[in-house]
Amino acid sequence: MIYKRSSALFAQAEKVIPGGVNSPVRAFKGVGGTPIFIKEAKGAYLYDEDGNRFVDYINSWGPMILGHAYQPVVDAVVEKAKKGTSFGAPTEIETQIAELAVSMVPHIDKIRFVNSGTEACMSAVRLARGFTGKEKIIKFAGCYHGHSDSFLIQAGSGASTFGVPNSPGVTQGTAKDTLLAKYNDIDNVAALIEANKNEISCIIIEPVAGNMGCVPPKEGFLQALRDLCDANDMLLIFDEVMTGFRLAKGGAQERFGIRADIVCFGKVIGGGLPVGAFAARNEIMDYLAPVGPVYQAGTLSGNPLAMAAGLAMLTELNNNEAVFNRLEEKTAYLHDGIAHVLQTNNITHTINRVGSMISVHFDNAEVIDFETASKGNNDTFKAFFHGMLNEGVYIAPSAFETWFITDALTYEDLDLTIKSVESVVKSL
Ligand SMILES: *Cc1c(COP(=O)(O)O)cnc(C)c1O
């Protein structure tokens, strides 16, 4: 494929935008090469500035669960835009989407809308700290909760030590309040709690991790976290920015039957516009300003265009529950197809999948946490990524990402993808 115009546009962008992109993973740094500039998208396909077509497995990193330029969402946004795009005053549609979200997701009474998943997680932790009166938090290595300071902490010299900032600009003071645990290791979590008695406000977790590839929670792990939170007056925060409205109508809480105290949303809830949200039972949500003392605000929060897109998206999902089964069946079909090809070609691999989240790791050890996720062969992944791209299949440009399956994919698209895997692995 030829990427002439994309290359020229990237060179131009690099002069005025750091790295040429407004979010780092778009830059292809993990895989090499220059990013593709997208001109438009429809259904399961992306079209770039050079006129190439790709089957899309990123789907804007999750939101496009029903495909690009999905008609009911587009219509809702266009109609809303004609009536003014922001007022800084309440509108009826905010209540409509709130009512719908609260009806779809278990264990939540109220929801507050923000502009991104980052804001949702940042605000959820502030709320948990305000509610419990405790300052420390537990997060898991390999889980991503957006780019706010408290979350940019990676493993230091061992899980029981204080976190070390993994970006300049995050202060030691902030880092010391974030305790880092190992995903799927309940003893590790219990030890952290024991070592920080009465100081931990909450545990925040991706109930299915999606930012180190797809890593499912082990049987009983989420329930054990729930029990530890109950025993220690800590709140359990499910970051469902990726899993919410994807794994089921009610997200991971519904799928696994585990109650979280605060739930964070993003991605699907905005239908492709910038939306995040966090939700909880009344007792917790009433700690938020203007009712309670915990401050949180936003000039464009609950923006009419964003709410119109989100409401149209959630309405489609709510009225059409079969979509979740369909997504799961398509993803399982892809899983089987790719696994078969990799096996017959003797390519070392592990495929993880939960619902419509799937990732291919080029290592045969079980992938259960950040350490095991990091073992995959990155050179193989790079070659695989570029090979697939050349075949017209666009997967995330990083081995640490889940593929996001969209209902717009047909079985012909899936067969084409499996065929592409077959021709790519022959040259690996
Ligand atoms: C994408 C993501 C975020 C961050 O959301 P943004 O809208 O990019 O700020 C937070 N948590 C999880 C689990 C995510 O996948």
> Could you tell me where the DSSP H helices lie in 156-298?
172-175, 186-195, 221-231, 251-256, 282-285
Ligand 1 pocket, residue 276 CB under 6 Å: yes
Atom of ligand 1 lying closest to residue 267 CA: 7
Ligand 1 pocket, residue 306 CB under 6 Å: no
Residue 295 falls in the annotated catalytic set: no
CATH 3.40.640.10, domain 71-319, yes or no:
yes
Atom of ligand 1 lying closest to residue 242 CA: 15
Q: What is the pLDDT along the chain (428 residues), one digit of tens a residue?
A: 899 999 999 999 999 999 999 998 898 888 999 999 999 999 999 999 999 999 999 999 999 999 999 999 999 999 999 999 999 999 999 999 999 999 999 999 999 999 999 999 999 999 999 999 999 999 999 999 999 999 887 633 333 334 556 778 888 888 889 999 999 999 999 999 999 999 999 999 999 999 999 999 999 999 999 999 999 999 999 999 999 999 999 999 999 999 999 999 999 999 999 999 999 999 999 999 999 999 999 999 999 999 999 999 999 999 998 999 999 999 999 999 999 999 999 999 999 999 999 999 999 899 999 999 988 888 999 999 999 999 999 999 988 899 999 999 999 999 999 999 999 999 88
Give the model's pLDDT for residue 1: 87
Sequence spans of domains, the chain: 4-69+321-425, 71-319
Residue nearest to atom 11 of ligand 1 (CA): 145
Q: How far is CA 398 from CA 183, 381, 403, in A?
A: 20, 8, 10
- Cβ–Cβ under 8 Å, residues 186 and 197: no
Ligand 1 pocket, residue 420 CB under 6 Å: no
> In angstroms, what is the span from residue 61 Cα to ligand 1's centroid?
9
> In angstroms, what is the span from residue 168 Cα to ligand 1's centroid?
20
HEC string of 407-422 equals CCCCHHHHHHHHHHHH
Give the model's pLDDT for residue 255: 98
> In angstroms, what is the span from residue 56 Cα to ligand 1's centroid?
19
Q: Which of 62, 84, 61, 64 is nearest to 74 (CA)?
A: 64
- Cβ–Cβ under 8 Å, residues 58 and 36: no
Residue 369 falls in the annotated catalytic set: no
Give the model's pLDDT for residue 173: 87
Give the residue, out of 139, 144, 275, 398, with the most ligand 1 atoms within 8 A of its beta carbon, to mutate for a pocket test: 144
Give the residue, out of 145, 205, 263, with the most ligand 1 atoms within 8 A of its beta carbon, to mutate for a pocket test: 145
Q: What is the CATH code for 4-69+321-425?
A: 3.90.1150.10
Atom of ligand 1 lying closest to residue 240 CA: 13
Give the model's pLDDT for residue 154: 62
> In angstroms, what is the span from residue 163 Cα to ligand 1's centroid?
21
Say how many C-beta atoms besides its own lie within 10 A of residue 31's C-beta. Answer: 20
Give the model's pLDDT for residue 218: 98
Ligand 1 pocket, residue 272 CB under 6 Å: no
- Residue 401 tokens, joined: 């990402």
